Structure 1
């Protein structure tokens, strides 16, 4: 670190990521770094992928990078992580999600390249649960990604969601039913506790699917 003039481990991390970025750049590729990996000495052409709001400067650090001319993808873990239960991330919460991070200036908004939803399949042990967790969230995420700020209307969207439900039925996809209805906070808290502590399949079974594992 002394030989390279690096002050601490964060700068060492930035140096390593820059080496990877330059390797990729020479091959016509773009490096993407999770927002908790952003460092002050990171190359400006590295795209930030925002996922966690409570580590390493959260949204503020990503917003400053975009305002300085950088690019970002928004994958907020409490909005578009599909391996989380609906009790933690209700459908309306995903619909109300605003892709432009707080603090990003209007002239820099184009730096937000879009939304990327995530589903970490180490938490998904069957195709049934995969579809249950992803549908109708995928449809909602697409809607919120292309709907301009101030033009969202949840009730109107629910009407337009009905043909998608019909499509899921025709394709025999085990989608989550009834999750468009907001649940009381107390019930949601109990659901999250159950998911984390005792039964990650409770939502799936209560949704009318009897084959889910305990």
Structure 2
């Protein structure tokens, strides 16, 4: 199968799961939920319009492009492949994702990258509050601003923000940008289609003060 076009209906995901490879265009999604979820084949999927909750969730191997906005939980629990939103994303974009690349060309709402576990996320605009909460691994790049409590209770994920940060969450601090971080950021931006100067960014990460129990913190 080289390419096909499907008008959005209840059987779209069933059709996609039967394919081993190829290119698929989905038309008229009209904000439907769970579009192109659970893909585990190297498909090229283009969704022409806005999606509801959990679009491209649990993705493996597929490259999904959403030419519109995405609702809550886009690319949630993604394992590999890529998801690109040519628009804005609602809350919890890339939540718990283990791998792959998520690109959002517009803004992302609250809790972007919450509990991320290895995914790379690049946001062309700004992100909302509590983003990267309990982020364990992976990289989050924000070309705009970040809302309150960025990186609260963060583990070993790396955050790069070009704009202003409203406030940092517990145990999240600004860190030096060494040569390897400039190279890493430049590579991530290039994969997402941007050529920003890494020197314009600030890196944030864990202060590692929450890793161990302290008797003085008892109630």
Bigger fraction of residues in strand: 2
The answer, yes or no, to whether TM exceeds 0.5 is no
Higher RCO, 1 vs 2 (CA within 8 Å, ≥6 residues apart): 1
Larger Rg: 1
Q: TM-score normalised to the size of structure 2? A: 0.31
TM-score, length of structure 1 as denominator length: 0.32
Greater percentage in helix = 1
